[in-house]
Amino acid sequence: MHIHILGICGAFMGGAAQLAAAAGHKVTGCDANVYPPMSEQLQAAGIVLTEGFDAAQASLKPDIFVVGNAISRGNPLLEAILDQSLPYVSGPQWLAEHILQGRWVLGVAGTHGKTTTAAMLAFILEKAALEPGFLIGGVPLDFGVSARPGKTPLFVIEADEYDTAFCDKRSKFIHYHPRTLILNNLEFDHADIFTDLAAIETQFHHLVRTLPASGRIIANAREDSLKRVLARGCWTPVDWFNASKGGWRADGDDASGILTIRDGNSEIGRTQWRLTGAHNRANACAALLAARHVGVSLADGLAALSEFKNVKRRLEVRGAAAGVTVYDDFAHHPTAIATTLDGLRHRVGAAARILAVLEPRSNTMKMGTMKDRLPQSLAQADRVFCYSANLGWDVAATLSPLGARQSCHDALDALVTALAAEARPGDHVLVMSNGGFGGIHQKILAALAA
């Protein structure tokens, strides 16, 4: 089968493209913005890319066009497909019908931590010699790719609540039909498609309704939103984790790198690992319980996590210059920003300075829906540099509670210059964006070196 993918460089669509190619299909695709790491993965898989969405691509006459959710009406190629009555399908539906059919799907859903938790789960299964397939919205450092078909029925997928496509406004995860499901957390996000938290809860309940009675749900006990979702109806056993006391939970010590898993007051096991922060310990607990559902013991899971390296763009060190370390992180929601800063603070200690660099790039952030939460989410940073171009709200006014610690810049080069002038040996520069951010990491490192 020849498939041509519209929006192929997105995290999900790029992963689906690699799975299709690995399954023996001829894969081509197009997108407007191409940047690593996805562009590199697609090239390595031998997938031919076309820049832009020229209507002439309709003449390729593939067996089917696979349409990503970033593609809207008015897109020239999409309009040509509709005008010529050419066959098309959404990415999640194609994946469900051609890759996931008949497999034991382990889904990881939630507002935060999906990528890291899915990578942990896939790695635990890999170390247990279960050779799972996976599709993850980032690049796990332990695998080097965001997707692979696997060699057993097990398949780990990052179950995103964003809508499916222009023609299907259900959440993507509705198509996946998991047997094992992690519900990591649930907050309001994606203000461009959801009116409020209740609307997202409804989509999560639609997902819960698809699980079999022989399945398993791993749910965060600290999330009232998830309790409301399951109270609407649940036909699948639930393991609650992360309760304030009792039940399954993880604790530990960032300084020593200890991760401990407990059931009530009983310690089940412990290991030493590389990650920091309470959020990552909760992610680990969820991944361990999900792996247990397919037969991996908690002891073996903990042993695997001692080797887990994490995911690209999750507090990833991009380099150092003039005694300053530069990190890259995908954080863009206020909660994720706060937890990322907290994780770095625990890693570097209270005395070190953290210079946060933020690009409010997601649709929700561009709309300013959560702007009032930004000052508190950035509280642990010693200095904040915000890229304020292309926003419809006053960033400087929003960040004014931070006082002299914040500065806003409409020009990327001006931001880099200001940061380099402020930085001193021993500082830690944390760049947070869900996009390429104009290659800012290398620009910062070059400015520091100069």
Q: The CATH number of the domain where 87 resides is what?
A: 3.40.50.720
| Residues with Cβ within 8 Å of residue 97, at least 6 apart in sequence | none
Q: At what angle do helices 412-422 and 440-449 cross, to 10 degrees?
A: 40
Per-residue confidence (pLDDT) for residue 36, from 0 to 100: 66
Other beta carbons less than 10 A from residue 159's beta carbon: 28
**DSSP3 helix / strand / coil % (the chain, rounded to 5):** 35, 25, 40
Residue 97 domain flag: no
Q: How many domains does the chain have?
A: 3
Residues 6+ apart with CB under 8 A from 394: none
Co-location of 187 and 266 in the same domain: yes
Backbone angles phi, psi at 195, to 5 degrees: -80, -30
Q: State whether 131 and 76 are in the same domain.
A: no
Any domain includes 9? yes
Domain annotation covers residue 372: yes
Do both 128 and 237 map to the same domain?
yes
pLDDT of res. 255:
81
Same domain for 77 and 108, yes or no, is no
Does 430 reside within a domain? yes
**CB contact at 8 A, 43 and 105:** no
Strands (E), 68-176: 88-90, 104-109, 133-135, 147-148, 154-158, 163-165, 168-171
**Residues of the domain holding 438:** 316-449
Are both 254 and 323 inside the same structural domain? no
Domain assignment of residue 96, yes or no: no
Q: Which two tokens stand for residue 212?
A: 């079999």
404 with 379, same domain? yes
Task: Judge whether 199 lies within some domain.
Answer: yes
* Residues 431 and 366 reside in one and the same domain: yes
Please indicate, yes or no, if residue 310 is contained in any of the structural domains. no
Asked if residue 32 and residue 8 are part of one domain, the reply reads yes
* Tens digit of each residue's pLDDT, the chain (450 residues): 999 999 999 889 999 999 999 999 999 999 997 666 677 889 888 998 999 999 999 999 999 999 999 999 999 999 999 999 999 999 999 999 999 999 999 999 999 899 999 999 999 999 999 999 999 988 899 999 899 999 999 999 999 999 999 999 999 999 999 999 999 999 888 777 888 999 999 999 999 999 999 999 999 999 999 999 999 999 999 999 998 777 899 998 888 899 999 998 899 999 999 998 888 999 999 999 999 999 999 999 999 999 999 988 888 899 999 999 999 998 878 888 998 899 899 889 999 999 999 998 877 777 777 888 899 999 999 999 999 888 888 989 999 999 999 999 999 999 999 999 999 999 999 999 988 888 899 999 999 998
- Asked if residue 117 and residue 83 are part of one domain, the reply reads no
For residues 356 and 299, membership in a common domain is answered with no
Of 91, 124, 155, the residue at which a domain comes to its end is 91
**Do 75 and 129 have their domain in common?**
no
Residues 269 and 332 in one domain: no
Supply the pTM of this predicted model. 0.88
